[in-house]
């Protein structure tokens, strides 16, 4: 896959553990992207190459630079490296923008709900700016429902406040704070976790039936929203979900053992030991085989390989109708037998 390099022109400290990297748009070959997509950053850390996707927090036609916002993950290799080491002037390798957490090309939707927690606000912030700025969507209402510990840990708190004032007739923000110092519920924030039914009961059901929902947050939030929305018979395509992390059910690993796998990458065969619990992609990267990948959540298909022998199992992803019978996404594939042969 082609890669580009982008120069960091500014770093914004968003909260105690989150920064925004602002990249200069190349003068000649501008990077084209859609609000809600992500950019994959490539780093060499202690001799090993790491790729990590980060959603754009900028929006095309709104922000002149390309921006991604990165929150530290405890013990996370890349998120902490970015927060600690990346400086203005650094040149960073990136993959072309990807992702389908985007606004539909044709839509007559009048109410868009953006549900997010913590760093999950990043693609929502991009979508929110895009919708508010887009002339053809000037009669679309945007409802952001945003959960955090408190005001201090809320990424884009000030920027959201400014947008709310500017677009007071089109943008409604409901903040939920689990550890706010405010003792009582106020107009600014509601104490506790996001309660979808509490939010949606403020709207007429006709409005909700024709609304569009973007969700980027933990699986319990996702499931709660889906349960509440099920009552409104919304078309499936009106609920879009972005997962930052693959949630695996330990039960799915029953029967999975450490196995030997033959990997044929670019016509070179390597025997890999895939230890129990590791995906074939992880085992290959541990063995310094630089397979292509990006999201590691079974979404982008960059890591697609063909199973030519033995049996494998994909864990943690939704059914993918676009994959042929022998096609497997190696970021979530685990060998079930000892004679697995993968070609990529």
* Residue 53 sits in the site that holds ligand FAD (CB under 6 A): yes
* Residue 304 sits in the site that holds ligand FAD (CB under 6 A): no
- Beta pairing class for 141-148 and 111-117: parallel
H or E element that contains 308: strand 304-309
Number of chain positions touching ligand FES (CB under 6 A): 12
The three-class DSSP label of residue 234 is coil
* Residue 70 sits in the site that holds ligand FAD (CB under 6 A): yes
Beta strands in 16-158 (DSSP E): 18-23, 38-45, 48-55, 66-71, 91-98, 111-117, 141-148
Q: Which does 302 bind (CB under 5 to 8 A by kind): ligand FES, ligand FAD, none?
A: ligand FES
CB of 69 to ligand FAD, least distance (A): 5
Rounded to whole angstroms, the Cα distance separating 86 from 88 reads 7
Stretch that binds ligand FES, among 115-123, 137-145, 248-256, 288-296 (CB under 6 A): 288-296
Q: Nearest CA to 174 among 147, 213, 214?
A: 147
The three-class DSSP label of residue 293 is coil
For residues 11 and 287, which CB has a smaller minimum distance to ligand FES in the complex? 287
CA atoms within 13 A on the CB side of 124: 32
By CB under 6 A, name the one of 23, 33, 38, 293 that touches ligand FAD: 38
CB of 320 to ligand FES, least distance (A): 9
* Residue 133 sits in the site that holds ligand FES (CB under 6 A): no
Instruction: Pull the structure tokens for residue 81.
Output: 């490296």
Rounded to whole angstroms, the Cα distance separating 23 from 88 reads 9
| Cβ density class 68-89: b for 16+ within 10 Å, e for less | bbbbbeeeeebbbbbbeebeee
Residues 234-253 that bind ligand FAD (CB under 6 A): 242, 244-245
Q: Which does 67 bind (CB under 5 to 8 A by kind): ligand FAD, ligand FES, none?
A: none
Q: Which does 312 bind (CB under 5 to 8 A by kind): ligand FES, ligand FAD, none?
A: none
* Residue 284 sits in the site that holds ligand FES (CB under 6 A): no
Positions that interact with ligand FES (CB under 6 A): 293-296, 298-303, 329, 331
Positions that interact with ligand FAD (CB under 6 A): 38, 52-55, 69-71, 73, 75-80, 99, 119, 122, 242, 244-245, 295, 297
């Amino acid at each position: 896959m082609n890669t580009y390099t982008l120069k960091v022109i500014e770093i914004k400290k968003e909260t105690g553990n989150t920064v925004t990297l602002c990249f200069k748009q190349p003068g000649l070959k501008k990077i084209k992207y859609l609000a809600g997509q992500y950019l994959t950053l490539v780093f060499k850390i202690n001799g090993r190459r790491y790729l990590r996707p980060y959603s754009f927090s900028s929006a095309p036609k709104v922000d002149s630079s390309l921006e991604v916002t990165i929150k530290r993950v405890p013990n996370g290799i890349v998120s902490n490296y970015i927060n600690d080491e990346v400086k203005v002037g650094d040149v960073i390798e990136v993959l072309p923008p990807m992702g389908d957490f985007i606004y539909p090309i044709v839509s007559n939707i009048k109410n868009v709900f953006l549900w997010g927690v913590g760093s999950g606000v990043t693609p929502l912030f991009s979508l929110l700016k895009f919708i508010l700025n887009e002339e053809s969507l000037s009669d679309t209402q945007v409802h952001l429902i945003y959960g955090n510990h408190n005001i201090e840990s809320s990424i884009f708190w000030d920027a959201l406040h400014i947008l709310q004032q500017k677009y007071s007739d089109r943008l409604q923000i409901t903040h939920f704070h689990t550890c706010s110092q405010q003792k009582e519920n106020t107009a600014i924030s509601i104490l506790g976790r996001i309660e979808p039914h509490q939010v949606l009961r403020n709207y007429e059901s006709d409005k909700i039936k024709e609304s569009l929902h973007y969700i980027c947050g933990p699986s319990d939030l996702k499931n709660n929203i889906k349960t509440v929305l099920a009552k409104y018979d919304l078309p499936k395509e009106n609920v879009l979900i972005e997962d930052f992390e693959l949630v695996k059910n330990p039960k799915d690993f029953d029967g999975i053992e450490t196995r030997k796998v033959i990997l044929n990458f670019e016509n070179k065969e390597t025997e890999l030991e895939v230890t129990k619990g590791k995906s074939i992609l992880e085992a290959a990267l541990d063995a310094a085989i630089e397979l292509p990948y990006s999201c590691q959540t079974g979404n982008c298909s960059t890591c697609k390989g063909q199973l030519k022998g033995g049996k494998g199992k994909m864990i943690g992803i939704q059914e993918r109708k676009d994959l042929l019978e022998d096609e497997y996404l190696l970021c979530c594939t685990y060998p079930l037998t000892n004679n697995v042969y993968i070609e990529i």
